[in-house]
Amino acid sequence: MSRKIDIVCVSGTREKLQMAAMIASVAAATGDTVTVFFSMNALTYFIKGRTAEAPAEGELGTLLANKEGVPPFKQLFKQAAELGDAKLLPCSMALDLLKITKNDLDPEFGPPTGLTRFLSDAEGGQLLTF
Amino acid sequence: MSQEKVVDARNTFCPGPLMELISNMKQASIGDVIELLSTDEGSGNDVPEWVNKIGHELVSSQNIDGVWHIKIRKVK
């Protein structure tokens, strides 16, 4: 049976972005209905032209960064959208603070979304926060 | 005519092998068999679980010298 999974990405650290991306990609590709809401520092990695690496929180983050064969979180989020129809939604407040629009983000991103809308769409599903 | 294809995902970490399999599965035709090669230990459990959930057919799964060889037939 298809589940509904809503993920909130807030932290800009490597471990949290990686874990969120792993869950989003596997769940979406397994037929779950996945929505990822990006706000705060997590959103900044998806601004076109930015190449900043997400800092590691600890040992595992450093291993993730240095090991070949670890799928990068941006690739996993993209696969979640392309292979599993996951919705990637930018927080409208974060876009306002950054003074950018949806067009400044990677093309996989959906429309700017406010909290009221996100919370009402997320009702009844499983909500995970990173 | 159904085809057999090998997807070599050795030396990639979870969920790399599964995502490789899924993207190849999307492009395959019904009846095609994909053999996934993976050195990720979790693949031995995770890939059959995915195959079962989606409803494809697990043809065989074995670990040879630390490499998982998992054959899946696309059913739908």
Say if CB B49 and CB A105 are below 8 A apart.
Answer: no
Position A2 confidence tier, pLDDT thresholds 50, 70, 90: confident
Q: Could you write out the DSSP letters of every residue in chain B?
A: ---EEEEE-TT--TTHHHHHHHHHHHHSPTT-EEEEEE--TTHHHHHHHHHHHHT-EEEEEEEETTEEEEEEE---
Q: List the domain range (segments joined by +) for residue B66.
A: 4-74
pLDDT digits (tens, 9 = 90+) for A67-124: 999 999 999 999 999 999 999 999 999 999 999 999 999 999 999 999 999 999 999 9
What are B26-64's pLDDT values in tens digits?
Answer: 999 999 999 999 999 999 999 999 999 999 999 999 999
Task: Decide if B26 touches A, using CB distance below 8 A.
Answer: yes
Predicted complex ipTM exceeds 0.85? yes
Among the listed residues A95, A96, A124, A125, the one whose alpha carbon sits nearest the alpha carbon of residue A110: A95
What DSSP designation does A57 have? Answer: S
Peptide bond into B48 cis (omega under 30): no
B76 touches chain A (CB under 8 A): no
Between CA A120 and CA A33 the distance in angstroms is: 15
- The CATH number covering residue A112 comes to 3.40.1260.10
Q: Which of B11, B13, B14, B31 is catalytic?
A: B14
Query: DSSP code of A58?
Result: S
CB A98 within 8 A of CB A41: no
Residue B40: closest CA among chain A residues belongs to which residue? A69
Entry pTM: 0.93
Number of domains in chain B: 1
| pLDDT band with cut points at 50, 70 and 90 for residue B2 | confident
Residue-range definition of the domain harbouring residue A59: 4-129
Residue B50 maps to which CATH number? 3.30.110.40
Q: How many domains does chain A have?
A: 1
